[in-house]
Amino acid sequence: MTTGDHGFLQGLARPAAVFLALALLTAAPLSARGENLLDEAKARGELVLGTELQYAPFEFTENDKPKGYSVDLMDLVAADLGVKVRYVDLPFASVLPGLEARKFDMVEATSTITKARMERYYFTLPIADATVALVKRKGDTSIQKAQDIAGKVVGGTKGSAQTKLLQDFVQTLPGGVKEIKEYIGSPNAYADLEAGRIVAVAGSLPNLAYLVKTRPETFELVLPPFGPKAYLAWLARKDDASKALIEAINASLVKLTKSGKIKELQLKWFGVATDLPIDAVPTPLY
């Protein structure tokens, strides 16, 4: 994976920012020599992060500044590591290619931990729950449970694990669905949902709960969630240069969990706090 509506509305009109971010992808790599990225970031004074600032409440823009749960948490981690952060804002489908091309140190865009991704990337410890659910228009009585999307047009964010789970889920429905539309950025999916072009959007439960919390007159959750238990985290390239960086971030996340800071951020952004694994990155179910 909308703020109160600030990030939602601003996310729909950011062509200049997207153009600049895409231009950055054609620039020279930060490093191609394989140094320890943690030491390199400290020497440089900043950690360069790839993200998509259209994924409230995790990362979005308000008054042209990054905001959100993940942004707040990364600020605490960066302070612990002794570095500042700089964001490269891209459509989510371009974030992982940008990481592969070494255009930034790691990915701050909160990403679902999946089996396929764990084969290619180092994940940090989980920073939030990622169980997939659906959101619908307020008052749409035709969708009472996830199975009611059968035969209808639904949506999801292009390249997201939640959209992949939606694709798998609809195959279990008699006749499937009429169409799954894939959007660049969840705000575009929510706009089509509000306009009645689709009947539901798939996303992680915290994102959808925040959307409903901030726009209760427009949207409504479809419960229970239809996906298996999953978690969101940050990720980096699976190489020796990234290993020390991920280990340092994990050590910081453990400290922030034990101090109660992560719980404070969860309550601030989600309204509820959930326990997260801190001993190891959990083995994903899909």
Angle formed by the axes of helices 69-81 and 240-258, nearest 10°: 110
pLDDT at 152: 98
Residues 33-53 have a mean pLDDT of 89
Rg (alpha carbons) of the chain, rounded to whole number: 18
| 131 Cβ contact partners less than 8 Å away, ≥ 6 residues apart | 204, 205, 225, 227, 228, 229, 230
**Residue 30 confidence (pLDDT):** 60
Instruction: Dump pLDDT digits (tens) for 156-171.
Output: 999 888 999 999 999 9
Mean pLDDT of the chain: 88
Strand partners, 221: 135
Strand 132-137 with 219-222, pairing: antiparallel
Question: Which tokens hold the place of 4?
Answer: 């109160």
In the chain the first and final C-alpha atoms are separated, in Å, by 18
Per residue in 211-268, pLDDT tens?
Answer: 998 999 999 999 999 988 899 999 999 999 999 999 999 999 999 999 999 999 998 9
DSSP one-letter code for 60: E
Q: What is the model's pLDDT at position 117?
A: 95
Neighbours of 95 (CB within 10 A): 26
